[in-house]
Structure 1
């Protein structure tokens, strides 16, 4: 008899001793689950959060290229004037590292430029498989101009321009208070019962523990993405434990038998029994996940041997094993850190954005090989945007920034939200750009709530339940609206 079967039978026989949650929360979650439309047979959907921690300078990731802005007849010249020595060229004869022109379908008279290191993303955009969301940021309520910020006449997010606060708020969508519960975690609380098998969490992280996927009723399942020496990665096994008896491995067999005996015990003490259930569940989850993801990926796609490449490869392994895992809905978290470029911004972004471009290109190719490109949506997040102005060496912490989404269900080749004027306000005199709070720190014109609501609805969260996940969504989007929050997912 396999140890997994033995342990499974003992844990099923035990009565669950997990303490009851707050009654009101339970009732609200149960009501929301009851109202959720069940997925059609064979349907699968997943979202992948690619977090660029440190604060990506995203107004060089997506920059004006031609046509007028709201404040200048030549939007590229306005961009160049504001960015100074951070500005990227759009002329291939002037600079090999030049912007790649894209032609959005919804910006008549204007084109935009994608960073020189991201030609593959630009190609995906032009093919209709990717879109940009302009000037997104944490907001409690709409903020129209610098005057409202200075006068504090609007509620503003806690700790603006702070890495720790803004990372937390991007991952919780609770900018008015500090929280350890993420919006993907709350989605899991709402819809996880859609998945017929609960042994492995609906939320899977390739970057360890995170706030984004931590819920009230559970947390993420963390997977090792591998490293330069051991690129395979995967579920992390209990060291020195073997599921089946091994020939001539007396010590391993003895240790494994001891673990089995320990896990088979039941306790009368509530805390001890709860902890025991967690240990059993973890061991069962490892066995299931390892078996479900042990095969080779189809298509001979070569992922770059970088941190991000390895993480996205592991995402594809989990997607490949979705049937064995009993997964109908999933979220994934991957992270590429190091974007706090107060100096050498242009030089550092050249290499780092190239790494992102290569990794997401391989990811797309693998999704196509798996036949699931229409069922996966990848989206980016970051602490905040950065100042338009240079500090002579790089850029500093700011507020709104640009992001991209990619997937077969993305209504692509469009820029959603409102791409802002990049004009700078003078230190004295009349205001040129109401969104500039100083040095090109731009007030967001699209809230994180709108961005996240679009993804949550696509994943299956009932529209009426959005406030449970995104408590401020009502300030930006009506719960009974017949229109989508932004419209980038079909």
Structure 2
């Protein structure tokens, strides 16, 4: 970590401490480190956050197929009527049969057969109509008359991305809920040089904590390239016989210097730790992953197939998981990101190939986890800025609120849809009888599951004690009382 980044993170933490909520939260976190009970010997768990930046049109990723909805006797007919030219045809849809929606079936997007298969075998589940909330909001009247507190910048990309990653929608913050988890439970890991939080997409708010931040590495651009980046011009084991060796000697000399000034001491220690972290991560990920799983790391010009950007990131996640013992990691989070979901036009065509890339990448990742023998110890979950309007703007969909997400892992109580999949009826524009209390206009759905409920389940599984969950998710008490089991139950 260089001085500029160190100072930037320090400034970010200072700015986030301005609101009273964050000031109190940071102080309580600072006094509550190592609050988690130690795991069983060798018990490893990891969360992988797959963020879809731009706002995924998730009511086409998971759509109703048969049976009634809360607002119509025929949910499929209601879907077609509300979506208009954005409705997917029946041909090609992957029918799924949730165990907890009697009398109803649903469909997964035609581009996602692997996700549908994982769902049907019980290794994946969906969480319906999730969104940022400060407190429960039950109907559009509470939105229109401002009788409930609403998230800042409700339909804004920047605000909603931040809120999905901080779970503090009433104020702006540079500290993420993944970072707060790290602050609380990182001492479970015996080695602290490589952060518990590892990002394949550079800096992010989700993994930034009070006591540290993410360790950012590069995605795999081939089976052997990617990962932690060495200090330019530095080579271990040098003998001072050429320019590179002279440069390396100069770096070591600089790192050996001692300073009396506190800031200089801190920056110098960060430099030493960065060098040590690189050496550990590099060694941990040197090996070859078992099997020959195709993450589509490089483009195939003969078949006109580009490299899979998400596959490149998940391949590097798999390598880090493989090297967990070398890193001394019993708990980890990973952040991967695929942008480009802001489909105000050409929605159906764009989503077709993007969801195919997601499906191919998570399918390869699952196969690799199985070969590593850790599919029960790793859970992948999705996030996005927001859902999108059910109605079409004639070319695509626009910014909305609640949306659907999926979770995948051997520990997941799969083949279920958790939360409440809403009726998709549209309220009339202007005056007219209300058909759907959740529609705030144009099919912008009020979330029926809060981010706090969604994230709370994940945090408890990773090892955050129920008594400390409010330190990770400050609004969690507005939605449920933390206990031994999660609010939604998707870990059984």
TM-score, normalised via structure 1 length:
0.92
2:198 counterpart of 1:186 = no
Match of 1:325 in 2: 327
- Of 446, 456, 461, which aligns to 1:458? 461
Q: How many residues align?
A: 463
CA distance in 1, matches of 2:296, 2:161: 27
Gaps of 5+ in 1: 1-18, 93-97
Match of 1:302 in 2: 294
Match of 2:409 in 1: 407
Match of 1:217 in 2: 211
CA distance in 2, matches of 1:468, 1:440: 34
2:265 counterpart of 1:265 = no
The structure-2 alpha-carbon separation of the partners of 1:366 and 1:155, relative to structure 1 and needing over 3 Å to count, comes to same
1:263·1:280 contact (CA, 8 Å) conserved in 2?
A: yes
Match of 2:58 in 1: 58
Equivalent position SS for 2:115: helix
1:454-480 Cα deviation digits (max 9, x unpaired): 00000000001111111100000113x
Equivalent position SS for 1:278: helix
Gaps of 5+ in 2: 1-12, 298-307
The structure-2 alpha-carbon separation of the partners of 1:288 and 1:80, relative to structure 1 and needing over 3 Å to count, comes to same
The structure-2 alpha-carbon separation of the partners of 1:444 and 1:263, relative to structure 1 and needing over 3 Å to count, comes to same
- Of 417, 420, 430, which aligns to 2:419? 417
Equivalent position SS for 1:65: strand
CA distance in 2, matches of 1:26, 1:471: 11
CA distance in 2, matches of 1:226, 1:363: 13
Worse-matched range after superposition: 404-413 or 300-309: 300-309
Equivalent position SS for 1:60: helix
1:175-211 Cα deviation digits (max 9, x unpaired): 0000000000000000000000001000000000000
The 5-angstrom pairing of residues 380-391 of structure 1 reads: 380-391=382-393
Deviation at 1:226?
Answer: 3.8
1:131·1:410 contact (CA, 8 Å) conserved in 2?
A: yes
2:344·2:395 contact (CA, 8 Å) conserved in 1?
A: yes
Match of 1:237 in 2: 230
CA distance in 2, matches of 1:235, 1:175: 33
Match of 1:80 in 2: 80
| RMSD over aligned Cα atoms | 1.9
The structure-2 alpha-carbon separation of the partners of 1:83 and 1:201, relative to structure 1 and needing over 3 Å to count, comes to same
Deviation at 1:302?
Answer: 1.5
Match of 1:4 in 2: none
1:116-166 Cα deviation digits (max 9, x unpaired): 100110000000000000000000000000000000000000000000000
The structure-2 alpha-carbon separation of the partners of 1:429 and 1:231, relative to structure 1 and needing over 3 Å to count, comes to farther
1:307-362 Cα deviation digits (max 9, x unpaired): 10010000000000000000000000000000000000000000000000000000
2:32·2:184 contact (CA, 8 Å) conserved in 1?
A: yes
- Of 105, 111, 119, which aligns to 2:99? 105
Deviation at 1:29?
Answer: 3.8
Match of 2:275 in 1: 283
CA distance in 2, matches of 1:200, 1:243: 19
TM-score, normalised via structure 2 length:
0.91
Deviation at 1:84?
Answer: 0.2
The structure-2 alpha-carbon separation of the partners of 1:38 and 1:23, relative to structure 1 and needing over 3 Å to count, comes to farther
2:113 counterpart of 1:119 = yes
CA distance in 1, matches of 2:485, 2:276: 43
Match of 1:171 in 2: 165
1:403-422 Cα deviation digits (max 9, x unpaired): 00000000000000000000
CA distance in 1, matches of 2:52, 2:96: 23
Match of 2:357 in 1: 355
Match of 2:266 in 1: 274
Match of 2:488 in 1: 486
1:138·1:448 contact (CA, 8 Å) conserved in 2?
A: yes
2:482 counterpart of 1:472 = no
CA distance in 1, matches of 2:220, 2:36: 37
1:121·1:357 contact (CA, 8 Å) conserved in 2?
A: yes
Deviation at 1:28?
Answer: 3.7
1:225-253 Cα deviation digits (max 9, x unpaired): 1448x972110110110011159x51111
2:361 counterpart of 1:369 = no
Equivalent position SS for 2:235: coil
1:227·1:307 contact (CA, 8 Å) conserved in 2?
A: no
Match of 1:48 in 2: 48
2:34·2:188 contact (CA, 8 Å) conserved in 1?
A: no
